[in-house]
Amino acid sequence: MPSQWTERFLVRLAYAEGGCWQWTGHVAANGYGQFWLDGRCQYAHRVAYTAVRGPIPADLEIDHLCRNRACANPDHLEAVPHRTNVLRGVGFCARKARQTHCVHGHAFTTANTYRDPTSGTRKCRTCRAVARERSRRRRQGVHGASA
Ligand SMILES: [Zn+2]
Ligand SMILES: [Zn+2]
């Protein structure tokens, strides 16, 4: 592997519980470590996998066997078909597939969910409350109350 970036990469790894190589650099909102390489932001675990095992086939993606997304230990990484990872995983697509959150990202917990009486679909109570508050403010505005 080319030497100019490996040093920069390795200093950001820390040994962690379970033999994980914990990424101490920037971690994305989705929990994956990110590393600036070749002029673009790349996932740290993919960089590590590629460096040790070679290029990742286009139809495969890297799954964390340790479920620690910030881990970049190649021994904890496995190239799996995309679908396997989606079904196993907790990523955006998996969440979408399971519909655990409303479009605004509120969790569909028992307390936060109600059934729309007309359509029967799951609805978010938080969003309903926000919408009600908005229309209440609008009504007040119509009656001349200060905003
Ligand atoms: Zn790990
Ligand atoms: Zn919502």
Listed in order, strand segments (DSSP E) in the chain are 13-15, 21-23, 34-37, 40-43, 60-64, 77-81, 113-115, 122-124
pTM of the model: 0.56
* Listed residue (56, 61, 55, 113) closest to 87, CA to CA: 61
List residues, by chain if needed, whose CB lies under 5 Å from ion ligand 2. 102, 104, 106, 124, 126-127
Looking at residue 139, its pLDDT comes to: 87
Question: The domain at 1-98 falls in which architecture?
Answer: Alpha-Beta Complex (3.90)
Query: What integer pLDDT is reported at residue 108 of this predicted model?
Result: 86
CA of 110 to the centre of ligand 2 (A): 13
Domain with CATH 3.90.75 in the chain: 1-98
b/e map 120-129, b = 16+ CB within 10 Å: eeebbebeee
pLDDT score for 84: 65
* C-alpha 74 – ligand 1 centre gap (Å): 8
Query: How far does the centroid of ligand 1 lie from the alpha carbon of residue 47, in Å?
Result: 14
Give me the residues paired with residue 71 across strands: 22
User: pLDDT truncated to tens, each residue of the chain (147 aa)?
Assistant: 455 899 999 999 999 989 999 999 999 999 999 999 888 889 999 999 999 999 998 888 899 999 999 999 999 999 988 766 666 665 555 544 567 788 888 988 889 999 888 877 788 999 999 999 999 998 887 655 454
Cα of 112 vs centre of ligand 1, distance in Å, is 34
Looking at all shown ligands, the one closest to residue 68's CA atom is 1
Residues 6+ apart with CB under 8 A from 39: none
Q: Is 108 exposed, middle or buried (0-12, 13-18, 19+ CB in 10 A)?
A: middle
- Which one of the ligands is nearest to 101 CA? 2
Please report, as a single letter, which amino acid is at residue 109.
Answer: T
